Structure 1
């Protein structure tokens, strides 16, 4: 799809018609050989301010739908990393949107123009602001009625129990839940069961498919052959880094050569650096900073992956990526992590918030490296079998077609 014209510009419907025809021909060429595809016209709205847990699955979904021959536009907040990633992925962006509350009136006009000119079938929202905007902005498309509105809930907190939320959900044709917890909450707030669809969290499995060379990262941080634990999470108050550090200090009594890499950035880095100093771990803990581009290499250097919090989304993307990379996962039994990690098969789940429990789980993995590698291999297989992007795309596409 191409840039959408504002309502006050001269009519160029014939140009739009030619452009749409060209796009449909391109979409047909992208379809699998021998398949007869009727492309859907889909508008995704994703007001991601950062490259958060919901951002990557959203881009994978949009890219996957385009690869299946559908015509997909994506509306994003301009000027942030999510937009950059979308452009790098070659996705078609809807220009001129702000996706902020202060610009809602202007965004509504632009969305209405886009929906009419592009003949949108489905408006798919990923956040609460997008959801309301999509509801208000849907005009009737000549000969097609209003486009159907759907929503993905990426975390439990997003499912509202208040009157406004209930009213919004009644006017939403379908919702997707990235965890069984969210699926249950949707039903609790009154969304009809037949309109709630579970889609498993997904990771870019291809990015982690090959076993990464551990040497570059081990050389960078002078890790040698030490047992290495990697944790990938924003450095924020609710991510459990304090607990992990306390458990790691106990682990050093059994594995004095062990090292811990904390991957990420955030507002608690100063506090955590101070805690590392107080615990006497300055030579054993490494703050790597934000490492998105070479994350497969960072995970490749790990013998174990640790996660003490489910994070900002219920797809548990960090744990999924570690599993896709073939690393055994040690995680707390919180949020949707028990849906991701199978205790005793693809990792270990910690039942409480005691440092001793963290230490015991880490030691179990690191003191039996062959068993740890087998657990990691089982995690990789589970990621491929259950959490592949294709599985989620299958469900979303099937629901779309049932609505149009």
Structure 2
């Protein structure tokens, strides 16, 4: 089977990592997987690092450029015929339109990576109904598809995926602890864009309440974003000084950063509703504390792989932190359970097998009757 992944993304966020994991997973299952993306940025770099050679000659520019779109459609039509593509799998609205206009006899599959992507106006609904299958990465997205009246027989749920080989316990967290001067106390960390809707203010408030009983605790905020100056001012105003560290964006050594943590915290689901940051922490064997937003409740097993916070009160965050930080044996057990769950439920092999089954089902339904 030959599958073409169209992904009008240039950043290393949202759909990017799941698409790379899917391409590699399909190849491991013996299929031919092609990838087209917006060239010249982080997504392309990461694809090449994974051993994927993106298709050349396509712009996939999501902004309205009629001439570029026409060129892409014509080139895709030729490519789909020449390469005998069986399935065109799209991940964003722009590449969905390209897929509809260029697919020829190939099946068309769309993945919704967040709820915002599922829109109700008639042009979007028409687009969805041209698809042979629609994949939701969370129950909430699946439910939104149902509420919009999309054919339930064409809607499937396939959860997130994580690079298990990268996020292992072999990474050296001691070097990161030494670099940042963290000492021997408990280290709490969060990896997320520093933005007003990511909940870092709530985490800082909950962390501050914890310090009375755990004065040696440290909080790492890993990431970059427009909210950093405001968050730094908040830390200064609360005299938290060296107890809260802003590490900036960490990518190459992210597995080691996660190993340096005792507890991982995620206060919002982020741009990728399959909650990649939480999955990576689980793959690294870290207990995860999270809110009940997006797909987090179906990712984290409350009391098993971590704890879910029921509301947005600092005292609730503090209580969850205290329960895990104050019981190292529980933290270790949760981290080990998280790694097992990542291996059993969110592995690239399982993800590729689940998507492959959808492709085969679609192709079987489209096959002419004998």
Smaller-chain TM-score bracket: over 0.9
Report the Cα distance in structure 1 between the residues aligned to 2:150 and 2:349, rounded to whole angstroms.
26
Partner of 1:85: 46
Partner of 2:84: 119
Report the Cα distance in structure 1 between the residues aligned to 2:33 and 2:307, rounded to whole angstroms.
40
Partner of 1:133: 98
User: SS where residue 348 of structure 1 aligns?
Assistant: strand
Partner of 1:26: none
Report the Cα distance in structure 2 between the residues aligned to 1:104 and 1:237, rounded to whole angstroms.
34
Q: Work out which of the two has the higher radius of gyration on C-alpha atoms and give 1 or 2.
A: 1
User: SS where residue 79 of structure 1 aligns?
Assistant: coil
Partner of 1:373: 332
- Residues 361-400 of structure 1: pairs in structure 2 closer than 5 A: 361-400=320-359
- Residues 163-182 of structure 1: pairs in structure 2 closer than 5 A: 163-182=122-141
Report the Cα distance in structure 1 between the residues aligned to 2:287 and 2:310, rounded to whole angstroms.
17
Report the Cα distance in structure 1 between the residues aligned to 2:311 and 2:25, rounded to whole angstroms.
39
Report the Cα distance in structure 1 between the residues aligned to 2:223 and 2:32, rounded to whole angstroms.
35
Does structure 1 conserve the Cα–Cα contact (< 8 Å) formed by 2:275 and 2:296? yes
Does structure 1 conserve the Cα–Cα contact (< 8 Å) formed by 2:274 and 2:295? yes
- Residues 32-181 of structure 1: pairs in structure 2 closer than 5 A: 40-100=1-61, 101-102=64-65, 103-139=68-104, 146-181=105-140
Shift of 1:211: 4.1
Give the gaps of 5 or more residues in structure 2.
364-370
Q: Does 1:318 align with 2:277?
A: yes
Report the Cα distance in structure 2 between the residues aligned to 1:366 and 1:53, rounded to whole angstroms.
30
**Residues 56-75 of structure 1: per-residue CA shift (max 9 Å, x gap):** 11100011112222222111
User: SS where residue 312 of structure 1 aligns?
Assistant: coil
Give the gaps of 5 or more residues in structure 1.
1-39, 140-145
User: SS where residue 219 of structure 2 aligns?
Assistant: strand
Partner of 1:260: 219
Report the Cα distance in structure 2 between the residues aligned to 1:381 and 1:120, rounded to whole angstroms.
36
Q: Count residues in correspondence.
A: 359
User: SS where residue 249 of structure 1 aligns?
Assistant: helix
- Residues 337-348 of structure 1: pairs in structure 2 closer than 5 A: 337-348=296-307
Shift of 1:373: 0.7
Shift of 1:306: 0.5
Does structure 1 conserve the Cα–Cα contact (< 8 Å) formed by 2:168 and 2:255? no
TM-score w.r.t. length of structure 1: 0.87
Report the Cα distance in structure 1 between the residues aligned to 2:139 and 2:206, rounded to whole angstroms.
30
Report the Cα distance in structure 1 between the residues aligned to 2:216 and 2:170, rounded to whole angstroms.
24
User: SS where residue 221 of structure 2 aligns?
Assistant: strand
Report the Cα distance in structure 2 between the residues aligned to 1:170 and 1:214, rounded to whole angstroms.
48
Which 10-residue stretch deviates more, 67-76 or 303-312? 67-76
**Residues 253-280 of structure 1: per-residue CA shift (max 9 Å, x gap):** 1211100111111111111111111111
Shift of 1:89: 1.2
Q: Does 1:214 align with 2:173?
A: yes
Partner of 2:366: none
- Structure 1: 4+ residue segments shifted above 3 A: none
Report the Cα distance in structure 1 between the residues aligned to 2:213 and 2:78, rounded to whole angstroms.
65
TM-score w.r.t. length of structure 2: 0.95
Report the Cα distance in structure 1 between the residues aligned to 2:44 and 2:37, rounded to whole angstroms.
6
Does structure 2 conserve the Cα–Cα contact (< 8 Å) formed by 1:123 and 1:148? yes
User: SS where residue 110 of structure 1 aligns?
Assistant: helix
